[in-house]
Amino acid sequence: MSSSDAPISAVLFDRDGTLIEDVPYNGDPDRVHSLPTVADTLDGLRELGIAVGVISNQSGIGRGLLTSEQVREVDRRVNALLGPFDVWRICPHSPDDGCGCRKPLPGMILSAAEQLGLEPARILMIGDIGADVEAARAAGAHAVLVPRPETLPEEVAAAPLVARTVREAVGWFIPALAEARP
């Protein structure tokens, strides 16, 4: 089932808790592990010619808990496991910095759309928390929440679409990648 008249030309993913296991303030590439259905879904998107990207708040930099280099090392590991990605956007700011890029603001999604040469309406954002969904809505993109046990119930209730897996989330907009139903 498609929720859009315009075809999806790019899928943007939150990094921690969506593409990889969430390890708070992780600066160690050896602790990067892909989540189920992610690698196959990304491969399928690439085979269909759909751009893929990463949109990630990394406040550990702004809070002084991580260095930019540590985040780059983790991102390199993500890219080695799951890449290549067409676009990466990282917000290094703490919540108190007042930047325009930190989710739930739309800055990173709008910037990625510009780099990809796409209208936000042709982008799907997939994440595990409300800020991911809110950023997509603010940008004019589509959003699907793939909650984890830590996702707040009110975030699940507020999401326009909720999926069990990344594959299911993508399949609602790109039927060729829908999970097989029993």
pLDDT at 180: 53
pLDDT at 162: 98
Q: Both ends of the chain: CA-CA distance in Å?
A: 17
The pTM score is: 0.94
pLDDT at 5: 64
Which listed residue (5, 14, 30, 75) is catalytic?
14
Distances (CA, A) of 132 to 29, 46, 148: 23, 22, 13
Which listed residue (16, 86, 128, 132) is catalytic?
16
pLDDT by residue, tens only, the chain of 182 residues: 344 467 999 999 999 999 999 999 999 999 999 999 999 999 999 999 999 999 999 999 999 999 999 999 999 999 999 989 999 999 999 999 999 999 999 999 999 999 999 999 999 999 999 999 999 999 999 999 999 999 999 999 999 999 999 999 999 999 888 865 43
Residue 54 CB contacts under 8 Å (≥ 6 apart), including other chains:
12, 13, 14, 15, 19, 75, 78, 85, 87, 88, 89, 90
Query: Quick one: tokens of 64?
Result: 């002084």
Is 16 a known active-site residue?
yes
CATH class of 10-177: alpha beta
Is 86 a known active-site residue?
no
